[in-house]
Chain A
């Protein structure tokens, strides 16, 4: 089932609390030099149309309820790619009073792209690796567990 998704991935971009640089690099990957659209990767405005979410930045206490409600609206099966060091392990913002932990504490994440910011090439390679992973995955698609919203 999820193999069909690998032909043309539509991505939705969720900026939690980033410094904006990862977001700019995501857009950069769509512009003429890298041109991700030639692989069928398209940025869409609503998560209901998307197969994959690019998550950038740390999640703070104001974003968390929004992230959870947006994630719950996503059509399943659905993939999440965490872009940038912030989304991986909070990077330099670790220890801030407003940050509620790395995103993978709250939603399941399928691929991580390290870098601050990662280069557009790294983003493309992450998508390629994700596609390979999905193609080689012979297990039956099951429902991923999503933890309930934690008390803030």
Chain B
């Protein structure tokens, strides 16, 4: 309870049926209205940056892949970009196209996953089941072409680990062809259904001004009218070599975020098709050989499904990174909820919290240690109480 008697606090989490991942929100409500929110994370901290310093440059690719399972190629993508920036490595053209294909297939399955969960949150379980059904052929495609359903380990410093043969290219094209009518169907279904549309329209609006103030990235920013996309602004891999558009909408509500994501999937299909066609013409190596990583520092960026991923790598020569810093898109996006949720009602809160497509395993990079204050749980208190008894016990025994 806060000082104001009228305000009630609702804790959500850390283990809550609505949430996939452990995180903790404290909603402050006045009647039906949400007047404040506190976000507490840290349940998923695994110390990846520190671990990375004990792994070789090549092993770290596998480690950063396991930061997040949904966008499992985004972190390696940004990481290899960073190391290549550090060592001034140029990758073969074929590898560029393959990287782009991997990145875009991942974007499609990640967005479908989000769309399904959004449908689940507003009570349309059919949307959930259908989206995940359409996602399944993509995962199978990944397994056939990249070797695993997720965590495909395609990225390698200097290139990619596996080639895409012409037959596999045809397979990808065919699957993309099958996907487009389904995406159109979802698009029309959401646009035509008055209930879904009205439901998504009223929830969690993030204005352009707030979006700028909170530095949001990715589809969350693009749905609020900010045209920002690393793939366009600072082209890497083959994004500068193919033709595609950045999808922007002005409204900033959950509906806009949904539509941006659906349109982005269509753009991804466009990119993948062009890349697969180009792969038939561009033959040659898929990786350049790396002898050693020199001293220096480098940054790498990638537009993950949720926004810009940023990696910083510093080397002092030798085989391990000296410092590796990761900034995931959800780190920026999650905190925009502080304005998007406030002012809405409680039923909208869950939807709005989910609308930025938060990924807490990506976000939990740092752990703040505040030495001045400590939270004592009841268990701590009991332990302290017992310790005092033991101490007394020892003293009296010694005295005897």
Q: How large is the interface on B (under 10, 10 to 19, 20 to 34, 35 or more residues)?
A: 35 or more
Q: A15-B21, A99-B47 are in contact. Are A21 and B133 (CB under 8 A)?
A: no
B69 contact from A20, A32, A46, Cβ within 8 A: A20
CB nearest to A94 among chain B residues: B51
In the complex, identify which listed stretch (A1-9, A57-65, A126-134) lies at the interface while the others stay far away.
Answer: A57-65
In the complex, chain B residues whose CB is within 8 Å of the CB of A33: 133, 136
A22 within 8 A of B: yes
**In contact, A97 and B72 (Cβ under 8 angstroms):** no
**In contact, B51 and A21 (Cβ under 8 angstroms):** no
**In contact, A19 and B47 (Cβ under 8 angstroms):** no
**In contact, A62 and B43 (Cβ under 8 angstroms):** yes
Distance of A131 Cα from B14 Cα, bound (Å): 30
CB proximity of A87 to chain B, nearest CB, Å: 13
Among A15, A19, A27, A60, the most chain B Cβ lie within 10 Å of the Cβ of A19
In the complex, chain B residues whose CB is within 8 Å of the CB of A19: 66-69, 72, 361
B51 contact from A23, A62, A93, Cβ within 8 A: A93
In the complex, chain A residues whose CB is within 8 Å of the CB of B20: 15, 20, 23-24, 27
**In contact, B70 and A14 (Cβ under 8 angstroms):** no
Q: A31-B133, A62-B43, A98-B47 are in contact. Are A45 and B17 (CB under 8 A)?
A: yes
B22 within 8 A of A: yes
B359 contact from A15, A20, A95, A116, Cβ within 8 A: A20
**In contact, B70 and A93 (Cβ under 8 angstroms):** no
Distance of A27 Cα from B51 Cα, bound (Å): 29
In the complex, chain A residues whose CB is within 8 Å of the CB of B68: 19-21
CB proximity of A41 to chain B, nearest CB, Å: 16
**In contact, A14 and B15 (Cβ under 8 angstroms):** yes
CB nearest to B132 among chain A residues: A31
**In contact, B46 and A96 (Cβ under 8 angstroms):** yes
CB proximity of A105 to chain B, nearest CB, Å: 17
Distance of A31 Cα from B21 Cα, bound (Å): 19
**In contact, A149 and B379 (Cβ under 8 angstroms):** yes
**In contact, B69 and A117 (Cβ under 8 angstroms):** yes
B151 contact from A46, A98, A117, Cβ within 8 A: A117
Distance of A89 Cα from B21 Cα, bound (Å): 20
**In contact, A92 and B63 (Cβ under 8 angstroms):** yes
**In contact, B51 and A96 (Cβ under 8 angstroms):** yes
Among B44, B63, B67, B151, the most chain A Cβ lie within 10 Å of the Cβ of B44
In the complex, chain A residues whose CB is within 8 Å of the CB of B48: 93, 96
In the complex, chain B residues whose CB is within 8 Å of the CB of A45: 16-17
In the complex, chain A residues whose CB is within 8 Å of the CB of B361: 17-20
Distance of A27 Cα from B117 Cα, bound (Å): 11
CB proximity of B286 to chain A, nearest CB, Å: 24
Distance of A22 Cα from B21 Cα, bound (Å): 11
CB proximity of A35 to chain B, nearest CB, Å: 9
**In contact, B47 and A21 (Cβ under 8 angstroms):** no
Q: Which B344-366 residues sit within 8 Å CB-CB of chain A?
A: 359, 361
In the complex, chain B residues whose CB is within 8 Å of the CB of A151: 383
CB nearest to A23 among chain B residues: B20
Q: Which A80-115 residues sit within 8 Å CB-CB of chain B?
A: 91-93, 95-99
Distance of A33 Cα from B151 Cα, bound (Å): 20
In the complex, chain A residues whose CB is within 8 Å of the CB of B56: none
In the complex, chain B residues whose CB is within 8 Å of the CB of A119: 149
Q: Which B131-158 residues sit within 8 Å CB-CB of chain A?
A: 132-133, 136, 139, 149-151
Q: Identify 13 new A-B residue pairs, CB closer than 8 A, beyond the known A32-B136, A99-B47.
A: A15-B20, A17-B22, A17-B43, A17-B45, A24-B20, A28-B132, A31-B128, A31-B129, A60-B44, A66-B14, A92-B66, A95-B51, A96-B50
Q: Which 9 A-B pairs have the closest CB atoms?
A: A21-B69, A45-B17, A96-B47, A31-B132, A20-B69, A19-B69, A17-B44, A32-B133, A98-B47
Q: B residues engaging A (CB < 8 A)?
A: 14-17, 20-22, 42-48, 50-51, 54, 62-63, 66-70, 72, 113, 128-129, 132-133, 136, 139, 149-151, 359, 361, 367, 377, 379, 383
The 7 sampled A-B contact pairs (Cβ below 8 Å) are A33-B133, A62-B43, A62-B45, A63-B22, A66-B43, A70-B15, A96-B51
